[in-house]
Amino acid sequence: MIIWTTLPIYNALLIHFSNDWDEIADELIYILIETYGMTDALTPGEGLQIHNYSSLGTLPWSGISFYDERVERHFFAIHHDISDSPNWYMMWNFTSQMRFE
């Protein structure tokens, strides 16, 4: 899998997380478990290559994290659809749902 960037990103990490239900916020949250460094910087047109990626089950358990030019951290879940769908990999921004314990 290759993730392309159209803007500079920094400190790109492959992340592993779990999930839980936040009863107060009434939403699914994700809890960061560990990170693996991928690259210090990626410029527009460059890609972040991830080999042998697959998801575990219905909900995502991994994704990427990076900082933008404003030094804001972003979290994107990656899900590998193993059905017959033509969209094998999906990514979505879940920065607002990320929790740190």
Q: What is the pLDDT of residues 39-63, one digit of tens each?
A: 999 999 998 888 877 666 677 888 9
| Of 7-16, 33-42, 58-67, 83-92, the least confident | 83-92
User: Domains in the chain: how many in total?
Assistant: 1
Pairing of strands 62-67, 9-22: antiparallel
The string over 60-91, giving b where at least 16 C-beta atoms fall within 10 Å of a residue's C-beta and e elsewhere, is bbbbbbbbeeeeeeebbbbbeeeeeeeeeeee
Q: Could you tell me the pTM of the whole model? A: 0.84
Domain residues for the domain of 25 are 2-100
CA-CA distance, 98 to 56, in Å (whole number)?
Answer: 19
